[in-house]
Structure formats: structure tokens, C-alpha cells
Amino acid sequence: MRILKSFLFCFWACLYFQCSKTNPVEPQKTEASKNIVIATGDDSPYCVTIELIKNFIFLEHVFSSRLQLPTDVVIATWTTNGDIYVSEDLGTNFRIVHQNETEQWYRCFTTDSGRHFLWDRATARIWIFDQGWQNIKQIQNGNYPWHGTWSIGEANGVIMYAEYASEGDVLHVWRSVDDGDSWESVFNKKGREADAPEIRHFHTLQPDPFSPGDWYLSSGDNPQECRIWKSSDDGFTWREVTDPDPDGTDRQDIHRYTAIYFDESFLYWGTDDLLDGCARFVKAERTEPLSVHVAAKLDNLVRSLVATPYGLVLISERKEAHYGKMLDLTVHISANKQDAYELFRIPSQDKRRSNFTNSRASIAARGNIFFTFFEGPVLFRNSWGFLKWEIVPHFSKQEIELLVDEEPYDP
């Protein structure tokens, strides 16, 4: 055991799994069935703890659009039915709020009034629940859901989402000004199933928290389909702001992303595409068109971008590169939003790809804690659940040794 620990410390990574009880029949209270602790190198100021919350599927870590702050509320569904569970203590305990055997909950968004919009994949309908989880109504706008966490938003009493389909005809932006009671299509583009297609699907739609009335909309996937539009009147009108001459690349798919972050000066994203063999961390000035700059190179396609007290955490998927090699899943952090530091990577030990977070995650950490969707087979093999992450100042070697008192998991 000591030899094994020494080997792990030489690479400055340690993995630890601790089994505890989980009741799949009455999951009113759950505890993580496994933990993994990943400590980065001696020169890194960070340590990341990842915990599997088993048997649940992540739907949403509620974020207050009005306050621009994450909450303690996490919403999940069960892996085998349409039950809905809510945690009000950052994923420690869950209570059931809706029971059903047939719904297939695919997306969730909570408004500032406390209403919950849940997309049911089985019927292509949005179920609207009130703050007490009573079903108010079911509506059907179009045929497609929004893509992920950054594809729906709320600001100034306006709620909008952008449609996502693997292959669709016409993709719409839907807008509501009455907390979801009624909707109208305010923008659309032809998908690949239409004549003269313009995009494959929309990726993100978010309000600019520093400029009331402004929203940014993005699309993908092929280079010519990767475009960005802006509205300055809360969705009434739209104009394209795609940068025709981005700094650091001549590739239009520099505009392909599934998660976005705003500060007072720039927009930030990680590309959901490989440009000459690697992804990019990007910042864009709010000019028209946007002035896009490459800030750093990243190994693999970024699917989630989470704001933490220590910087922006960029989480990749695991995907085969164009030249046939399966790229490692990587997690980077950008403390200064100028470059990106690799926190850790999970080597690809087989040929199975994984979207990993699938663009569903916390917008921002609550304290040091955030959550992501989980798609295997990485970290936890043959397990269902979602991930609770904690990022803290880096443990010392002695502190890690106290944590690692059992045989580490060997994938």
C-alpha cells in the first residue's frame, strides 16, 4: 500500500473511493456511494473533490437570474422513472416532489418566481410546475428542447430558450413575458432537414447581466453553421455579430460553444470543436461584430464552463480526434481569464467516447461546490448518477495521506 501511495504521489494524483449505503427503493435521503479525490501537482493551488450522487440524473442547479447567484437547490430525476427529487442543501439530502412512471424529464429551468419548466422527452411538451411543485399546465411550442444549461435564460421579466435538434427542419427561439403562460417565436433558422439549411441547431441563448436588454444567441456545428446573434431589445429583433476575422485563428468554428460566461469587459467560452487538433479558450469584446481573441489552447472540446471563487473551470468531453486518437478528458481552470491551467486529466483507456457533462452543469459554484451531469464510462464505471464537485485550496502531501487510508480504485 505504501508503495502504491508513493507511486501515486510521484504523479501527484490520488484516487479514493469510499462505499456507503444508498437505498434505491426509498431515496428520500441519499449519500454519495463513492468519492474520488483528485489532487493536482505540488505547484497547483487547487484540489478537486468529485462525489458521485448515485441513481439520480442531474436536471438543474438553480441559479437566481435576478440576484446573479447560485442557490442551494438542486433538481434531479430518478434513473428508471419520471419521479422528480429536490435537494435544498446542495445535494446532501433529496425529497420527492413528483411521482410518475411515464415522463422522461430531459431539461429543467427554474424562473425567478419559483416556477419550474421541465421538458418531457416522451411527449415533447413543457410541464410547468409552481413553486410548490403542483403541475399548472403542459404546453407545446415546437418539437425540440433547449440544449443545456446555457440555452435558456431570464432577464427583465423575459424568458427565452433556443431549440436544439440533432437533425431538424426549422429551429426557433421562443420568448415568454408572462412566466411561461404563453410563448411566441421571435427568431428562427432553417435546420439540416429543411431546404437551404442555415444551421444544424442552436447551442446557447443567454442574457448579458451587464447590459440590460442584450441577449446573445449561438449556433453550430459545421464551421459555416457556427454563428452568433445579438438582441438589444429583449428578443424582439436580432442581428448577426459573428466575427469575420477572429484573432488567433481563421476558423469560423471558433464561434462554436455550448457554455458562456460574462464579465464587465468580455464574453468567454471554450470551443466545442477542435481547431487544428485542439480546442480554444476564447474571450470576445462586445463590439459589433464581436472582436474574438484566442486566450489559450485546450486539449479537448469544452462542454461546460463553471464560475468558481478561484476562476472559470472548463470541463471537456472525451471524443475521438479527427486523426483517430481518443483524446483524454481534461479539466482546466482560468484564474485570470487570460490563460488556462490544467487541473487534471482522465486518460482514455478505451475507445468509448463520452459527452461527460453534456453541457448540463451549474452556472456558478455555491461557495466551493458545483454540480454536473454525468455520462460514463469515465471516473465511475457502470454507475448512474451525477457529480458534485468541490474545489478548495491545494491539500498538502500529509493531508492527502490522511485521506487515502484505503486501497484506491484502479480503473
pLDDT band for position 379 (cuts 50, 70, 90)? confident
Give pLDDT, residue 43.
Answer: 65
Which of 173-182, 271-280, 331-340, 378-387 is the least confident region? 378-387
Give pLDDT, residue 23.
Answer: 30
Distance between CA atoms of 177 and 6, rounded to whole angstroms? 59
Give pLDDT, residue 40.
Answer: 63
Give pLDDT, residue 59.
Answer: 98
Give pLDDT, residue 17.
Answer: 28
The mean per-residue pLDDT over the stretch 287-305 comes to: 96
pLDDT band for position 21 (cuts 50, 70, 90)? very low
Give pLDDT, residue 327.
Answer: 82
pLDDT per residue over 207-229, tens digit each? 999 999 999 999 999 999 999 99
Give pLDDT, residue 205.
Answer: 98
The mean per-residue pLDDT over the stretch 334-347 comes to: 89
Which of 19-28, 41-50, 86-95, 185-194 is the least confident region? 19-28
Alpha helix (H) residue ranges in 336-383? none
**What predicted TM-score, i.e. pTM, was given to this entire model?**
0.88
Question: Nearest 5 degrees, angle CA 157-CA 184-CA 160?
Answer: 45
Question: DSSP for 71-87?
Answer: EEEEEEEESSS--EEEE
Which residue, chain included where needed, has cell 442557490? 71
Give pLDDT, residue 79.
Answer: 85
- In the chain, what percentage of residues exceed pLDDT 90? 68
pLDDT band for position 7 (cuts 50, 70, 90)? very low
Q: Evaluate whether 159 touches 207 at the Cβ level (below 8 Å).
A: no
pLDDT at residue 5 is higher than 90: no
pLDDT at residue 108 is higher than 90: yes
pLDDT at residue 369 is higher than 80: yes
Taken in order 312, 313, 317, 318, is the CA torsion positive or negative? positive
pLDDT per residue over 52-107, tens digit each? 898 899 999 999 999 999 999 999 999 888 999 999 999 999 999 999 888 999 99
Give pLDDT, residue 309.
Answer: 94
Which residue, chain included where needed, has cell 484566442? 294
Question: What is the distance of C-alpha 192 from the center of its chain?
Answer: 25
More reliable by pLDDT, 403 or 70:
70
Give pLDDT, residue 41.
Answer: 57
The mean per-residue pLDDT over the stretch 379-402 comes to: 72
**In a 3-state reduction of DSSP, which class is residue 3?**
helix
Give pLDDT, residue 399.
Answer: 56
Distance between CA atoms of 212 and 273, rounded to whole angstroms? 30
Query: What is the chain's mean pLDDT, rounded?
Result: 86
Give pLDDT, residue 261.
Answer: 98
The mean per-residue pLDDT over the stretch 366-380 comes to: 88
pLDDT band for position 20 (cuts 50, 70, 90)? very low
pLDDT band for position 28 (cuts 50, 70, 90)? very low
- Beta-sheet strands, E only, within 79-190: 84-87, 95-98, 105-110, 116-120, 125-129, 135-139, 152-155, 158-162, 170-176, 184-190
